[in-house]
């Protein structure tokens, strides 16, 4: 979004915990650090300038100061690290309906249930595009970035360098397990969708896993987030969240037509 200065709008509980962590502990910590450093700079400028202090003090060390500037950063890092592990665990917890994650409220020891997955999709990083599979239905399709003439002709309302020919379509209010890998003969990629709060490596020969449950319909964009070669900047991710009825019609079109174009024809055109 042009001019945006904050995180992308959240549409999942995973991203909710990231925003809470960012706007809470992280923001207050960095604010305190900035104020402290600014105060120290002002004190130093006022007390130790050449006019106020023509004969500078001659000392080599101060044990107490050295202890403070070593211990204090450690404490700050611990305060930041503990809840960040909970936030990281949000997206890495297997959605089996039984496990719990702590999220950014780890200090309160509150637990939230991760719902069982209702569908599974597989994202495979190729050079340089994404291949998606609806695992339960064994349906595959490729997703490539639209070149600028194509975007202007087919989807002029979609952002440059993020619009794709075939979006990954998923239903709203549905827990989606995402299996992520890369082509066996390819390179490392990373599957990231900021509005969902997920980012996970796509490694050849390895199947990583994350999940999301989007609560609002719309198109959400991400990008390959691992430097992967000459077209790294041109591997966008577009996830289209539709109603459950629209998704049922989409999959019915996929089954009857046998390809993505037939399925996509059941949905309203993207402008």
List the chain pLDDT tens, one digit each, 271 residues: 667 778 888 999 888 888 888 888 888 889 999 999 999 999 989 888 888 888 877 878 889 989 998 999 999 898 888 888 878 877 887 777 776 665 555 544 445 567 788 999 999 999 999 999 999 999 999 999 999 999 999 899 999 999 999 999 999 999 999 999 999 999 999 999 999 999 999 999 999 999 999 999 999 999 999 999 999 999 999 999 999 999 999 999 998 888 898 888 888 877 6
| Domains and their CATH numbers in the chain | 13-113 (no CATH), 119-264 (2.60.40.420)
- Pick from 68, 91, 90, 72: nearest CA to 29: 72
Residue count (the chain): 271
Burial of 46 (0-12, 13-18, 19+ CB in 10 A): exposed
pTM of the model: 0.84
Residues contacting residue 6 through CB under 8 Å, at least 6 positions apart: none
Query: Which residue has 């007390």 as its token pair?
Result: 47
């Amino acid at each position: 979004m042009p001019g945006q200065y904050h995180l992308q709008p959240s549409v999942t509980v995973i991203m909710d915990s990231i925003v809470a962590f960012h706007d809470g502990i992280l923001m207050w910590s960095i604010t305190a650090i900035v104020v402290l450093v600014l105060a120290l700079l002002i004190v130093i400028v006022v007390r130790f300038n050449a006019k106020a202090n023509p004969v500078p003090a001659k000392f080599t060390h101060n044990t107490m100061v050295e202890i403070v500037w070593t211990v204090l950063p450690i404490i700050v890092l611990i305060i930041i690290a503990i809840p960040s592990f909970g936030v990281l665990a949000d997206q890495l917890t297997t959605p089996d309906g039984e496990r719990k994650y702590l999220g950014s409220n780890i200090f309160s020891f509150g637990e939230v249930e991760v719902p069982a997955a209702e569908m599974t999709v597989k994202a495979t990083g190729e050079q340089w595009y994404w291949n998606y599979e609806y695992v339960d239905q064994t349906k595959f399709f490729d997703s490539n970035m639209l070149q600028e003439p194509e975007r202007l002709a087919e989807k002029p309302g979609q952002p440059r360098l993020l619009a794709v020919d075939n979006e990954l379509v998923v239903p709203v209010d549905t827990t989606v397990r995402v299996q992520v890998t890369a082509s066996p003969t390819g390179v490392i990629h990373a599957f990231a969708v900021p509005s969902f709060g997920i980012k996970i490596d796509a490694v050849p020969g390895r199947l990583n896993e994350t999940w999301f449950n989007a609560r609002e319909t719309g198109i959400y964009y991400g990008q390959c987030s691992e430097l992967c070669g000459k077209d790294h900047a041109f591997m966008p991710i577009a996830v289209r969240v539709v109603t459950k009825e629209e998704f049922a019609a989409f999959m019915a079109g996929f089954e009857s037509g046998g390809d993505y174009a037939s399925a996509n024809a059941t949905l309203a055109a993207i402008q």
